[in-house]
Amino acid sequence: MSEPRKLEVLRAIVEDYVHSREPVGSKALVERHHLGVSSATIRNDMALLEEEGLIVAPHTSAGRIPTDKGYRLFVDRISEVKPLSAAERRAIHSLLEGPDDVEDILERTVRLLSQLTNQVAVVQYPHLSRARVRHIEFVLLTPRQVLVVLIADSGKVEQGVVHAAADATDDDLTALRARFLGSIAGSQLDLMPQVLPSVVALCQPALRNLAGALAHGLQRLADRSRDERMVMAGTANLARSNVDFPLSIGPVLEALEEQVVMLRLLSDMAEDPRGVTVSIGRENPYDGLSEASVVATGYGPGSSAKIGILGPTRMDYPNTMAAVRAVARYLSRILGD
Amino acid sequence: MSEPRKLEVLRAIVEDYVHSREPVGSKALVERHHLGVSSATIRNDMALLEEEGLIVAPHTSAGRIPTDKGYRLFVDRISEVKPLSAAERRAIHSLLEGPDDVEDILERTVRLLSQLTNQVAVVQYPHLSRARVRHIEFVLLTPRQVLVVLIADSGKVEQGVVHAAADATDDDLTALRARFLGSIAGSQLDLMPQVLPSVVALCQPALRNLAGALAHGLQRLADRSRDERMVMAGTANLARSNVDFPLSIGPVLEALEEQVVMLRLLSDMAEDPRGVTVSIGRENPYDGLSEASVVATGYGPGSSAKIGILGPTRMDYPNTMAAVRAVARYLSRILGD
DNA sequence: TGTTAGCACTTGGGCATGTTGAGTGCTAAC
DNA sequence: GTTAGCACTCAACATGCCCAAGTGCTAACA
């Protein structure tokens, strides 16, 4: 049997199944795709495909559906990333115009991606560990409460409240701010643990307590911005695409809510030379996602942060991959300047 | 027939139905609750309740289930808000300890509430319109991009990027910052439209363009913090509580994602003298929530912001109301000082 | 007047049974 | 290597039947 036809048959099965959501049989296959052979031949091919674990029959006399392995082969060797339609390109263009606040941009991006793909879209905040301190600000809220603001040169702002052991004054804060800023402005966020203690040590004894508290607060902010976050959109698509289909969406929602899980998942996805990485069904390290696939890619400087979508294994991979890739590229471009 | 018993029967029906998820019949009712009368009598009562539109029978020979109106009566006149269990109180206490960053607190609160109630929890950011300007900061990102930071005395920080028409320098920004701060520090966020233009007008002509852009940016930030937002948690509970039950969760997820809808809904809920407001099924202004109920209450200064939960109409109102009320009180207390 | 027992009636759910059609694997011929 | 043909399997659907749960009603009762 010819190797090319075998792949062709697998391709046809995947496409039909994604489209119809129903097991596809040999006869329907020859009708819908002009394969040039009879259904009996296809049956033989299918038997082989099943032996190789690429497809399975849910019950004796039903059609076949692709396995995770089948999808994998499809994605790796068969499908081509389709170019986006003109309408889609336009949507990307227009939706990503507007104020270029990092937060705003990510929010709109993720919404856009979820609409393009009809899946749940997820985007990770850009990494800040290599970002540098641009500015800090101490603001007295009450005599014992100080709002600490840390501004990175990436434009990200972190804030938190610090409790002082004794009453502080605006003058204290102004002095300390100058001192801190002098020492840490321009230094990398991940170097702060090395720098901060020496700043505190150099303070006048009277201020040392306060300085310690503030240093601790700054450290927390720096940690937090390294500490990753994400934005998502389109959870309602989960319910829609699975009407009358038993992808139990409970576990998936749980995974999405446990941001740690999702972030881990995204980070762990190796970068693929083709631009998008796909993790299918049980390939996912998280149990709740055993019937789901993740399509993701990096964006921004060094492609360090990830953007992607989450959907049922039975999804339209070519189009989804195209959308993810395109959106990631636009996003990189916008954040680039 | 005695009015008290009628209510008692309704109460029993609601409680059994909430518990079992199945229509409850007259016989089962007398068995589970010691009502002191026979099933025949209950049948008569039920017929009356049905006439009044408080309960319905899904089909001829099934038990009855409460209608929206039935739940309404139950909530208004029958149920009592149960006190929380000691364990629950402890959970609230321990989970709400930690750094008292507004954002952090809200996030933990909403997570806690969703766990206590097994529903989706939602909390609205505190209103800031009456907040005052504590501090502003301009940071040069590139010669033509300025990061504008607005810090309110409530501790909330807003940030955004402004594009300059011409190159700006740090000195320009320092000067402008002093000027802006001198005029608007301490003034209410909603008064900024009146104040900002005059500041711009007073600037040196060379800086006026830049000042205008910055003023515009500040205005946007002020608007945004008036512009309401929310945090939510527990969407996975939707899937869980509705396993084998046809509350189509799609529309509900949509509503939750359209934050505008939810915020509107929360804002529109009148304050109830008993401390918690309930909106049941079709009482909700949004179609997708016709099988859902919202239990909410205000918190914080003037109870202006809302916190609440969203779940199926068939929910345990007494406990849910108790949890919402308790959590709101703790939240108020924590934010109060 | 309110309560109760008894009874005829309705009906959804479960079950056993039969039928249909899509789909398969296998074999023999091309 | 491909195909036609055929016997076989089995989910899905339909049909009929019975049962249990539940109802409404009536007549008797306190």
Which one-letter DSSP state was computed for residue A75?
A: I
Give the whole-angstrom CA distance, residue A91 versus residue A281.
30
> Pick from B131, B145, B74: which is nearest to B304 by CA?
B131
- With a CB cutoff of 8 Å and minimum separation 6, the contacts of B303 are B271, B297, B332
Using DSSP's 3-state secondary structure scheme, residue A83 falls into coil
What single-letter amino acid sits at A166? A
* pLDDT surpassing 60 at residue A120: yes
Tell me the pLDDT band of A243, cut-offs 50, 70 and 90.
Answer: low
Q: Given an 8 Å threshold on Cβ–Cβ distance, is A137 in contact with B135?
A: yes
pLDDT of res. B128: 63
Residue pLDDT, tens place only, A50-69: 999 999 998 888 889 999 99
- Burial code of B15-27, b = ≥16 C-beta within 10 A, e = fewer? bbbbeeeebbbbe
CA of A52 to C1' of D1 (A): 20
User: What is the model's pLDDT at position A158?
Assistant: 83
Q: Smallest CA–C1' separation from A38: which nucleotide?
A: D3
* B151 touching A (Cβ < 8 Å): yes
Rounded to whole angstroms, how far apart are CA atoms A111 and A91? 12
Q: Which residue has the higher pLDDT, A192 or A116?
A: A116
pLDDT of B243 reads 58
Residue of higher predicted confidence among B49 and A128 = B49
Q: How far apart are CA B2 and CA A328, in angstroms?
A: 69
Q: Do B275 and B204 contact (CB within 8 A), yes or no?
A: no
- C-alpha to C-alpha distance for A289 and B116, rounded to whole angstroms: 26
Task: List Cβ neighbours of A172 (8 Å cut-off, separation of 6 or more).
Answer: A207, A210
Over range A180-191, report the average pLDDT.
87
Report the Cα–Cα distance between both ends of chain A, in Å, rounded.
Answer: 54
pLDDT of residue B36: 83
Residues 256-315 of B with CB under 8 A from A: 256-257
A48 touches strand C (CB under 7 A): no
- Residue B307 exposure: Cα atoms within 13 Å on the Cβ side: 31
pLDDT for residue A56: 94
- Kindly give, in sequence order, each residue whose CB lies less than 8 Å from that of residue A25, ignoring residues fewer than 6 positions away: A62, A63, A64
d(C-alpha B310, C-alpha B244), whole Å: 19
Sign of CA dihedral B178, B182, B186, B192: negative
* Nearest-angstrom CA–CA distance, A328 and A113: 9
The pLDDT-based confidence of A289 (bands split at 50, 70, 90) is very high
d(Cα B73, Cα A107) in Å, to the nearest integer?
42
**Mind telling me how many Å the CA of A120 is from chain B's nearest CA?**
12
For residues A185-213, give the mean pLDDT: 89
Q: Is the CB of B205 under 7 A from strand C?
A: no
Confidence bin at A307 (pLDDT 50/70/90): very high
How far is the CA of B258 from the CAs of A169, A232, B311, in angstroms?
44, 13, 17
CA angle A101, B101, A172 (to 5 degrees): 95
**Ranges of chain B with pLDDT below 50:** none
Q: What pLDDT, on a 0 to 100 scale, did the predictor assign at position A1? A: 56
Residues with CB under 7 A from strand D: A 1-2, 5, 36-38, 40-41, 44, 59-62; B 23-28, 39-40, 43, 46-47, 50, 57, 60-64
Does residue A173 register a pLDDT over 80? yes
Residue B123: phi and psi, rounded to 5, are -135, 140
CB contact under 8 A, A161 and B99: yes
Q: What is residue A278's predicted lDDT score, i.e. its pLDDT?
A: 96
pLDDT at A224: 76
Pick among A111, A148, A237, A257 to test the B interface (most B CBs inside 10 A): A257
Computed over every residue of chain A, the mean pLDDT equals 88
Calculate mean pLDDT across residues A314-332. Answer: 94
Report pLDDT for B137: 85
pTM of the model: 0.84
Distances (CA, A) of A149 to A125, A195, B162: 19, 18, 19
Cα dihedral value B91, B96, B98, B103, nearest 10? 140
pLDDT above 70 (res A246): no
Residue B216: per-residue pLDDT: 92
Amino acid code (one letter) for A100:
D
More confident residue, A92 or B296: B296
| Residue nearest D1 (alpha carbon to C1') | A1
pLDDT value at residue A222: 84
* pLDDT tens profile B261-274: 999 999 888 888 77
Residue A104 CB partners (closer than 8 Å, separation 6+): A98
| pLDDT top residue among A229 and A261 | A261
Torsion sign, CA atoms B105, B106, B108, B109: positive
pLDDT of B244: 52
List pLDDT tens digits, range A213-225. Answer: 999 999 988 887 6
